[in-house]
Amino acid sequence: MQYRILGKTGLEVSILGFGASPLGNVFDPVDEKEGISAVHYALDQGVNFFDVSPFYGLTLAESRLGKALEGKRKDIILASKCGRYDLQDFDFSRKRILKSIDESLTRLKTDYLDLFQLHDIEFVDKRIILEEAIPAIQEVVASGKARFWGITGLPVRYLAQIARETNPDTVLSWGHYNLLEDEINDELVPLSQEMGFGLMNAAPLMQRILSDGSLPPWHRSPDEVKAMQPILLELCKSYGVRLSDVALRYAMDHELIATTIVGMCELDVVKQNVAALDFEIPSELLEKIETLLAPVKNRMWFEGKEENNI
């Protein structure tokens, strides 16, 4: 396993991060024992960064991850979030954030988080984030219930704007560095180097488009982007490799991104993802993929308030 420093936190995180959202049945129903075995296998292979949220499975993912990590807390870097609790349930008030940390700690069976993050900040007014949420999350850090704090979201330019104004310890961007998207490089990557915050990337498989998994019905990519999946699968098959291995290795190779968080919860999938650490993408294949995807590159959808999608 390779590790990188998570910006000014000084934490050494595995370049493969364990995204625990699937433990909450976000994609498909998951057997709890299988999920716990998957977590243990990841730990045994050197994965030390685990990211979760009360939103995932409406607290189910946190509860299951807490069970899986019981007795193993000292071996991991644990991150959770606050502010988003359901598809349309956002509450970034001081009262809710201070309550949220205690609820998450209980479910995760620990007395502190390494990283506490504001979840999907683009869905509420900027004023709420600046005037209430960030002072509250900083209060949590001051209390010792979290070591560091960060922001997460989809619009990369808005994340950069908020980072400039608030100086977070970390920024988690999802969906903006993978074979289909590279907008993280425009502003967030150089800003992370300038300001020193730890930069994390999630969704390297673009919610299954860049894998052989069936796409969830709620997937919001344009149809022409979704239509690339079978074409890419066939191309990778002709080279005797898996599309997901190519996509994951591609994302993890970005040296200025500390960790690439991929959702996983089945033992076979975790084994496959870990194996991708030793995988090398055939250069000819990568060139063909990039040519194929050029017409649909950076076709990201928008989420949150319109004024926050700058």
Q: Where are the beta strands (DSSP E) in 209-281?
A: 259-263
**Which residues sit opposite 16 in a β-bridge?**
260
Q: How many CB atoms lie within 10 A of CB 112?
A: 17
239 is catalytic: no
Q: How many CB atoms lie within 10 A of CB 121?
A: 28
Q: How many alpha carbons lie under 13 Å from residue 151 in its C-beta half-sphere? A: 30
Active-site position among 3, 41, 56, 250 = 56
Contact between residue 115 and residue 170 where contact means Cβ atoms under 8 Å apart: yes
Q: What are phi and psi of 193, to 5 degrees?
A: -70, -35
Contact between residue 303 and residue 123 where contact means Cβ atoms under 8 Å apart: yes
Burial class (CB in 10 A: 0-12, 13-18, 19+), 3: middle
* Pairwise CA distance, residues 70 & 231, whole Å: 42
135: which residues sit within 8 A by CB, 6+ positions away? Answer: 94
* Pairwise CA distance, residues 270 & 168, whole Å: 30
Sign of CA dihedral 150, 247, 217, 49: negative
DSSP per residue over 36-98, as a string?
HHHHHHHHHTT--EEE--TTTTTTHHHHHHHHHHTT-GGG-EEEEEESEEETTEE---HHHHH
Q: Enumerate the active-site residues.
A: 56
